[in-house]
Amino acid sequence: MMRAAAIGLVCAMFNSVNGYAEMVVQACFSPQTKCSVHILREIDLAKRELLVAVYAFTHDELANALVRAKNRGVTVQVVIDREFDAVNERSKGKYFDAQKIPLRRLSGLRSATFDKENGLMHQKFAVIDRRVLFTGSYNWTHSADSSNDENLLLFRDAGPLAEEYRKAFLNLWERKF
């Protein structure tokens, strides 16, 4: 009995020493709460890598936070929807280009069964330092904060889950325009 308790204690210490922690999940609903506050906090804490895939990106503060992260040495990459960026004058695509933030403008995949235009790149997620994940209906827009009914989930210490989203991001990034 004592040996099992000692092994359990050693395993717990090993996990905490190696940075393994239990995943924490937090939900945010707008417009009741400004979800951008949570995103800004995590961007400011980013140390190595920040991958963002969102359909619409018009939020000035979030865009500026990505630039600050890039300027302090964080690798920042952004994927946005090509059509939204082309028709919305508030889209941050040109701003990211000017700030030298690596950016891909993508359309959704063509359907093999329908003869129609490309769909939307409708993803809405971000992966920070391979351990923090944001996902939900929340686009990175002022409307998402102030007038739309949106949801945003924040997962901290989410290594395996964050890695799945990171792979999805990299697949988007490598897709041909």
Distances in Å between the alpha carbon of 81 and those of 125, 142, 151, 177? Answer: 13, 17, 20, 11
Please choose, from the candidates 164, 160, 147, 157, the residue with its C-alpha nearest in 3D space to the C-alpha of residue 51.
164
Q: What is the pLDDT of residue 19?
A: 52
What would you report as the CA-atom Rg of the chain, rounded to the nearest whole angstrom?
A: 19
pTM: 0.84
Do residues 160 and 130 lie in contact, with contact meaning Cβ atoms separated by under 8 Å? no
Residue of 47, 94, 100, 122 marked active site: 122
Q: What is the pLDDT of residue 110?
A: 57
For the segment 39-68, the average pLDDT, to the nearest whole number, is 98
| Location of structure tokens 């009741």 | 32
Q: What is the pLDDT of residue 10?
A: 33
129 is catalytic: yes
Do residues 92 and 25 lie in contact, with contact meaning Cβ atoms separated by under 8 Å? no
Residue 4 has pLDDT above 70, yes or no: no
What is the tens place of the pLDDT at every residue in 115-157? Answer: 455 678 999 999 999 999 999 999 999 999 999 999 999 999 9
Please choose, from the candidates 100, 81, 64, 99, the residue with its C-alpha nearest in 3D space to the C-alpha of residue 139.
81
Q: What is the pLDDT of residue 174?
A: 93
Please choose, from the candidates 130, 122, 160, 155, the residue with its C-alpha nearest in 3D space to the C-alpha of residue 51.
130
Q: Which residues of 11-40 are buried (b: 16+ CB within 10 A; e: fewer)?
A: eeeeeeeeeeeeeeeeebebeeebbbebbb
Joined tokens for residue 32: 């009741």
Residue 109 has pLDDT above 70, yes or no: no
Residue of 38, 70, 124, 145 marked active site: 124
What is the tens place of the pLDDT at every residue in 70-108? Answer: 999 999 999 999 999 999 999 999 999 999 999 999 987
Residue of 34, 129, 142, 157 marked active site: 129
